[in-house]
Amino acid sequence: MKHFLKKIIWISIITFYFFEIDKVKAIVPYYYFPTIKNLQMQSSYIGKNAYQLLYFGQYEDSLNLAKLAIKINAKDEKLWLILAEAEIANKQYKNALKSLNKAEEINSNISELYFAKSNIYLKISQQKKAKIALEKGIKIEPNNHKAIFQLGNIFLMEKNYLGAIKLFDKSIKIKPDFWQAINNQGLAYFEKNNIDLSVKLFESAISIQENAEPLLGLASCLRINNTKLAIQLAKKALAKDPKYVNYDFRKEQLWGEKLQASTEILLQNEQLQKDVILAKSKIIESS
């Protein structure tokens, strides 16, 4: 009988124990602890959203999301790149360089981070560092025509016209319809006094895309030998993009001193004065 009672007591205790556990489960909330994989997925999703906001011009919101993504997962170099882009968009250039350095520590074999560094260095007028960064990026991605073009532009800034021409030519070989590189070869050859070749290059750029820059460049080349056509081209250029009436804007587009001087003379032509005044008024309206 005692043995039987012992069994009953034990059964009662066990039953009570499990019953109490169920009661506890019903009262105490269940906490989910995400795995590292889930956290990485979440940070990647937030990073993509931050990048989308950049595309739509919501720079501050993009920056906040990118910072959140990094807090969740600071070991993803792609997230550091997105954060750097958001910081560049918000003109936080020093912070952007720090973010790119973080990305480089994780993975130094990403061409984009060196191209981004170069972009920042150009914005803060550090051409030598911009050149070094571009060269590193091009070593990783040797067929990036835009990066080669940008390196050519730095050579153009340095007045190394032959070096610039070679790089532009390399860029064109990769992408034959890259009119910007063809146009900039025209800029370089004009400074080397090879006007005839500049004419051909500007004409070639226009045949791909009738942009204001090669139109005005060609007009400046033709102003002595074919004034009538030069005026027509200049009118068309200023109608397409009034900003090219401005000396400083053309300088930003890397126009050299000789081409600038020729363009200033052309724009003083009486037949262009109405177009020049209209272009200047449009710039004032848009500012």
How many residues can be counted in the chain?
A: 287
Q: Which residues of 222-259 are buried (b: 16+ CB within 10 A; e: fewer)?
A: bbeeeeeebbebbbbbbeebbbbbeeeebeebbbbeeb
Structure tokens at 221: 């080349």
pTM of the model: 0.83
Domain edges within the chain: 32-107, 177-287
Q: Return averaged pLDDT per consecutive 10 residues of the chain, 287 residues in all.
A: 43 42 48 61 84 91 93 93 96 97 97 96 95 98 98 97 98 98 98 98 98 98 97 98 98 98 98 97 89
Q: What pLDDT is attached to residue 218?
A: 98
For 106, counting Cβ atoms within 10 Å of its Cβ (0-12 exposed, 13-18 middle, 19+ buried), the class is: middle
**∠ Cα 229 266 195 (to 5°):** 70
Q: Output the pLDDT for position 42.
A: 83
Please report, to the nearest 10 degrees, the dihedral formed by the alpha carbons of residues 142, 144, 147, 153 taken in order: 90
For 32-107, CATH number out of 1.10.12.10, 3.30.210.10, 1.25.40.10, 3.30.56.10 equals: 1.25.40.10
Cα gap 17→14, rounded to integer Å: 5
**Exposure b/e, 49-76, CB count within 10 A at least 16 = b:** bbbebbeeebbeebbebbbbbbebbeeb
Q: What is the pLDDT of residue 239?
A: 98
Distance spanning both ends of the chain, measured CA to CA: 102
pLDDT of residue 22: 46
The domain covering 177-287 belongs, at the CATH homologous superfamily level, to Tetratricopeptide repeat domain (1.25.40.10)
Place of tokens 């030998």: 225
Residue 69: the pLDDT is 92
Residue 222: what pLDDT? 98
